[in-house]
Amino acid sequence: MKKLLLTIFALLAALSPLAAEGKGNVEAKVEGTALHDWQTSPQDTLSFFRRMDQRRYAKLLRSNLDSSYVGIPHQRWTLRTSSNFGWSTLQLDNLSSDGIGYRARLNSAFDIGQGFYLSWRGITLGASVKPAWFIPKLRNRDQKYTISVYGNRMGMSATIRSTTTLRGDYMSLPDSTVIKIPLGNAYDFSADFDAYYVFNSRRFSMPAAFTQSKIQKRSAGSALASVSIRNGITWVGAIDNLGNQEFRVLTNMFSLGGGYGHNFITPHNWLLHASLVTNISVLQYNRVLIGDDSKKIKNTFPDNVSVLQLSALHWKGNMFFGTSVTARAATYGNKERIEFINANMDLRFFLGVRL
């Protein structure tokens, strides 16, 4: 057990330079201490861990921040739990100039999870547990895997999502005939990547709003540059009233853009965050397949991927709590051929303490 703990802390020490923004690769060394010395002595081991923590804290304090706007927590550990809720929406429109065509609206079931996180000097490990694993009435086969990094200058999020709980309505126009698309007759898979760059990173902190690894002391905002990549497939099974043909949409998009974010600090210890980025498609290969018929979805301006983030955080002493929302929507095509909108929403309620 001792060797396992030492291995974990050694890995954290090796990873810690990666969390420093704009510094490149740094080689971590323990000067003046042989490996066998601190492996054999508990007192020396404690001293090594203490030095490692001090070096990490000193590195954070040396980061290029305006200390009157953004601070570093002096506490070593942060414990946080989060209740997570997510759902997806699909919308398809195909209308000719005379109003003949169809509209389809599909929504997924709620995806519920409870997350637990432990942070050491801004480096976080955690996992989310789904109640659906233990409660049969909540059980579904939807899956989501996310890796997020919130840095003061740069950050990214990569998500793989598989949704099988879609259901909704298909409306034929102009007669407005509605056909139900039942559960199990639609499926959506997507792999999404988003990244941002903060221009005013000395005074504006995204981590303060979403990971609490920084402290926003005064209100500040910044212009943001961003990039999005989307790959996915949406499938709707054969339905007798729709000609008994499968329907598939294949998505491949690379988008560039930007936006703006702001942290508002109130007199009563509230941090309110709002940010919006819109990325316009510059490269894409999207197709719709109905039975054996395959059509390319032409690149039309402004095909885009937009990400809206909101957060409200309240703190008192070492305790904090709040909520955050991330909404992501990809829109492309045109209604005369086919217009496709894929949106995902993630809602979180969190509670934490710094130790």
Mean pLDDT on 35-43: 47
21 versus 262: the higher-pLDDT residue is 262
Place of tokens 């890796």: 147
* Pair (36, 148) in one structural domain: no
pTM for this entry: 0.81
Average pLDDT, the chain: 82
324 located within any domain: yes
* Pair (52, 140) in one structural domain: no
pLDDT on residue 58: 86
Q: Which of 63, 85, 112 is the last residue of a domain?
A: 63
pLDDT higher than 50, residue 281? yes
pLDDT higher than 60, residue 19? no
Q: Which of 36-45, 93-102, 237-246 has the least mean pLDDT?
A: 36-45
Distance between CA atoms of residues 98 and 183, nearest Å: 32
Place of tokens 């940010």: 275
Domain count, the chain: 2
C-alpha distances in angstroms, 126 versus 58, 119, 193, 325? 25, 9, 20, 19
Domain ranges, residue 111? 77-354
Q: Give the model's confidence band at 17: pLDDT under 50 very low, under 70 low, under 90 confident, else very high.
A: very low
pLDDT higher than 50, residue 39? no
* Pair (58, 85) in one structural domain: no
219 located within any domain: yes
70 located within any domain: no
Spatial CB neighbours of 343, under 8 Å, sequence gap ≥ 6: 88, 89, 90, 91, 327, 328, 329, 330
292 versus 77: the higher-pLDDT residue is 77
pLDDT higher than 90, residue 255? yes
* Pair (166, 292) in one structural domain: yes
* Pair (186, 310) in one structural domain: yes
